[in-house]
Structure 1
Amino acid sequence: MNEKVRCLIIGSGPAGYTAAIYASRANLAPILYEGIQPGGQLTTTTEVENFPGYPEGITGPELMEDLKKQATRFGADIRNGIATSVDFNCYPKKVTIDGEKVIEADTVIISTGASAKYLGLPDEAKYAGMGVSACATCDGFFYRKKVVAVVGGGDTACEEAIYLAGLASKVFLIVRKSFLRASKVMQDRVMANEKIEVLFECNAVGLFGENGVEGVHVVRHMGEANEEKFDIAVDGFFLAIGHTPNTEIFKGQLNLDSVGYIITEPGRPTTCVEGVFAAGDVADSIYRQAITAAGTGCQAAIEAERYLSEKGL
């Protein structure tokens, strides 16, 4: 049996929960399905010190729980469940949950986020929240005057290395190839920074440490006759090899860029489909911060309310 709603929010995290807060206060009676990772990527983060309103800092899970409670307080219906398919070519929009239940919605807010790419090392999971990070802007502050490693050779990796060099005492940039894929200007900045040491033709193959990351196992010229194994001592290990937006079910339904991020109007959360909005990291390949995600969640809810009002729904 289908269920009809005025506003359906797919995905949680700062964007989804903030959208639920604003939509609830606008009397849209939103239903939010939390998705595969309730609370989003922040639930894997230990300390969050850059979200406004928490002068002493707060853990990622606690921050998400606070936002969830606030949304619930205003009447948001927050449920477990994963959107498995959508049909935006009809009215109302149809979203299938867990392959079974169909929700018919006047408006849909997508906040399914993006997943950081990892190397696939068992140690990445072992040291999650204990020295392994996929966001220098989020966690770099904890490594002031310490030694860190960044994995990657593109613009993102170079940007992260330069950012961390402003905080850490030394940054190792571990690059699989014999060159940097980053733009020329980013390459020049990295090579000119005395705090950054680039390790070309190197692969990070493991991490070690007692109560957290203390170092990286590295292989240079892996698989070749001159293969060399060595360790570097670091306090933090940052992945900068990209993100994958969680947009698989929206292919053919919405306009996506070459990577898979949802394309929205500049400065607005509106998509190419009327009544469908995107908020947070699912449409943001640049900032990827909790506060910017929350801001676009607010925008999406306001746009949804305006759309419903204009249509008399």
Structure 2
Amino acid sequence: MSLKITVTKMDFGASEELTGKVYDVIIVGGGPAGMSAAIYAARYGLTTAIITEEIGGQVAKAGWVENYLGYTRIMGPDLVSKFEEHVKYYNVPIIIDVVENVERAGDLFKIYTMNGDEYTSRTIILAVGERRRKLNVPGEDTYNGRGVSYCAPCDAPLFKGKVVAVVGGGDSAASAALLLTEYASKVYIIHRRNQLRAEKYYQDLLLHHPKIEILWNTVVKELKGDKVLRKAVLQRTDTGEVFELPVDGVFIEIGAEPPVDFFKRIGLELSKDGYIKTNHLMETSIPGIYAAGDCVDLTPRDFRQIVVAAGQGALAAYSAYNYIVRKFGMNRH
């Protein structure tokens, strides 16, 4: 029977069984990089735990995934369930909490969480991914959950027969738009440029789909409504024309950014845009701390892929294992 501990800042703290031991590796983040790292670390015989704000990361919010090996077509949340099932098989505890800081304590690391708990580990793997960007326009916060959404798989069924818009031009926006066509009567794509950034396969599907209309060179200036969202105020970037688009829902898919402040508290070396610098073995500037997935500078910004994150997570676990053997020996317990 696998162990799964759910902890939120509103709940009681984690049990002493979890906080009162020294782990070989604690993984911060529960997306594909973190889950993959957990599986590999457990297979190396390392005492392992995951601390994550949510299980699945961005994959849990993805639509159809059609490019992950072994699955011709699977919904993001369903793929996350497969990941979680695999991690459970190795009895790795998944602790739902927010890590606020990591500090070195001699040869070990202390991990401090929002819930007030403290964990100790020989190594850390950071796999925190990125946080969704917001439009930062009037009405976005007002209608969040009342027409504004950042998760198409979560909310698409709520817009059956409705008119919706997706803001963005990358793979995530394309995936969201295609998923929404299975529910909505009309899907607009609002993109600030005159061509999409999504991979060609997606572009071909979007350009030929009868329910999809792309509004090129267009940005959102404001979201309006009453108790729920009713319209989006748009502006053309080429002509400056401002117009209103009646919509029942707006799905925001404009990318993400790393938690820079968290990284700076730890003291990690970062790229100019705030991503963790690592080498090819996922080693950071601090010995014993590794990083993997969308939060690292090594990952191309225009190629955030599940398979890349999973591979980096495996490499991070490999490096953590070798570090532990060199520094602590095989009889550390």
Question: TM above 0.5, one fold?
Answer: yes
Does the residue aligned with 1:27 lie in a helix, a strand or coil?
Answer: coil
Q: Does 1:289 align with 2:305?
A: yes
**Cα distance change, pair 88–243 in 1 and its aligned pair in 2 (3 A):** farther
Structure 1: give runs of 5+ residues left out of the alignment: 172-194, 209-214
Which residue among 13, 18, 21 is the counterpart of 1:3?
A: 21
The more displaced of 268-277 and 243-252 is 243-252
2:16 is matched with which residue?
A: none
Does the residue aligned with 1:282 lie in a helix, a strand or coil?
Answer: coil
Q: Does 1:149 align with 2:195?
A: no
What is the one-letter code of the residue matched to 2:261?
Answer: E
Does the residue aligned with 2:174 lie in a helix, a strand or coil?
Answer: helix
2:171 is matched with which residue?
A: 137
Structure 2: give runs of 5+ residues left out of the alignment: 1-18, 157-163
Shift of 1:256: 1.4
1:32 is matched with which residue?
A: 50
1:263 is matched with which residue?
A: 277
Residue by residue over 1:232-271, the C-alpha shift from the partner in whole angstroms, topping out at 9 and shown as x without a partner, is: 89x996633x421134322041011222211111x33110
2:51 and 2:235 map into 1 onto residues whose CA distance is 45
Shift of 1:73: 0.8
Which residue among 48, 66, 69 is the counterpart of 2:82?
A: 66
Which residue among 316, 325, 330 is the counterpart of 1:300?
A: 316
Residue by residue over 1:271-311, the C-alpha shift from the partner in whole angstroms, topping out at 9 and shown as x without a partner, is: 00111100111113342221111111111111111111122
How high is the TM-score relative to the length of structure 2? 0.69
Q: Does 1:86 align with 2:102?
A: yes
The answer as to whether partners of 1:203 and 1:219 remain within 8 angstroms in 2 is yes
Which residue among 228, 245, 248 is the counterpart of 2:242?
A: 228
**Cα distance change, pair 147–125 in 1 and its aligned pair in 2 (3 A):** closer
Shift of 1:47: 2.5
1:244 is matched with which residue?
A: 257
2:288 and 2:190 map into 1 onto residues whose CA distance is 40
1:169 is matched with which residue?
A: 207
The answer as to whether partners of 1:17 and 1:67 remain within 8 angstroms in 2 is yes
1:47 and 1:64 map into 2 onto residues whose CA distance is 12
Does the residue aligned with 1:280 lie in a helix, a strand or coil?
Answer: coil
2:150 and 2:317 map into 1 onto residues whose CA distance is 38
The answer as to whether partners of 1:254 and 1:271 remain within 8 angstroms in 2 is yes
2:8 is matched with which residue?
A: none
2:126 and 2:246 map into 1 onto residues whose CA distance is 42
1:174 is matched with which residue?
A: none
Does the residue aligned with 1:93 lie in a helix, a strand or coil?
Answer: strand
Does the residue aligned with 2:78 lie in a helix, a strand or coil?
Answer: helix
The answer as to whether partners of 2:283 and 2:291 remain within 8 angstroms in 1 is yes
Q: Does 1:118 align with 2:134?
A: yes
Shift of 1:160: 3.6
Q: Does 1:276 align with 2:289?
A: yes
Shift of 1:83: 0.7
Q: CA RMSD in A?
A: 3.8
Does the residue aligned with 1:299 lie in a helix, a strand or coil?
Answer: helix
Residue by residue over 1:207-227, the C-alpha shift from the partner in whole angstroms, topping out at 9 and shown as x without a partner, is: 99xxxxxx97343379xxx96
**Cα distance change, pair 139–207 in 1 and its aligned pair in 2 (3 A):** farther
The answer as to whether partners of 1:277 and 1:304 remain within 8 angstroms in 2 is yes
The answer as to whether partners of 2:168 and 2:252 remain within 8 angstroms in 1 is yes
What is the one-letter code of the residue matched to 1:54?
Answer: Y
**Cα distance change, pair 228–204 in 1 and its aligned pair in 2 (3 A):** closer
2:70 is matched with which residue?
A: 53
Does the residue aligned with 2:149 lie in a helix, a strand or coil?
Answer: helix
1:18 and 1:77 map into 2 onto residues whose CA distance is 14
How many equivalent residue pairs?
275
**Cα distance change, pair 236–168 in 1 and its aligned pair in 2 (3 A):** farther
1:14-25 to structure 2, matched below 5 A, reads 14-25=32-43
